[in-house]
Amino acid sequence: MIRAALFVALVAVAAPARAADEAKGEKVPHTDYEAYFEKNSSGLKGDASYLALTGTDGFDKVFAARPPLIGKPRPALLPAGAFDKQFVAAVVKRGNAVTTYTVEAVTRDTDGTVYVQYKATAGPAGTATFASPLVVSVPKEGAKKVTFIENGKAVGTAEVK
């Protein structure tokens, strides 16, 4: 009996860990925009939202540009006509800490899936509630859906319409 329990314990420890999810396909050009915040009137709820926004109207319902900080340069904003050939893949995480993002890869697979792979790091928790967005522009051509991979795990998808 003890041998059987020891064997089961050893097999459990030696079993390979689940491989991390990774972006598939070829790299595509992208631009990250840190100059936006989620509007209080966006209508989005929950701990996180995963979005694919293909037009100015949809983008403007969710996001607004933050004002420039005193003594800092103006933040980069989406250029006029950005949605002619691009769409925005966005994540909004909500909670009691500010989340910062580092984009690791943006790729498009042959089936039209765009993968946005990033690291998300939560700051110290506080008493206020924060909405922290990741806004990335990606070429529309051939894109059908977006899969978001956060810290090595697929966490959400959005259809590109």
- Answer whether 90's CB lies under 8 Å from 135's CB: yes
Residue 7's pLDDT is: 40
Question: What confidence category does residue 20 fall into, taking pLDDT thresholds of 50, 70 and 90?
Answer: confident
The better pLDDT of the pair 4, 156 is held by 156
User: Once rounded to an integer, what is the mean pLDDT over residues 136-144?
Assistant: 97
Residue 19's pLDDT is: 55
Residue with tokens 């949809």: 58
What digits encode the pLDDT tens for the residues 87-126?
999 999 999 999 999 999 999 999 999 999 999 999 999 9
Dihedral of CA 124/129/135/140: which sign? positive
3-state secondary structure the chain: CHHHHHHHHHHHHHCCCCCCCCCCCEECCCEEECCEEECCCCCCCCCEEEEEECCHHHHHHHEEECCCCCCCCCCCCCCCCHHHCEEEEEEEEEECCCEEEEEEEEEECCCCEEEEEEEEEECCCCCCCEEEEEEEEEECCCCCEEEEEECCEEEEEEECC
User: Once rounded to an integer, what is the mean pLDDT over residues 20-27?
Assistant: 90
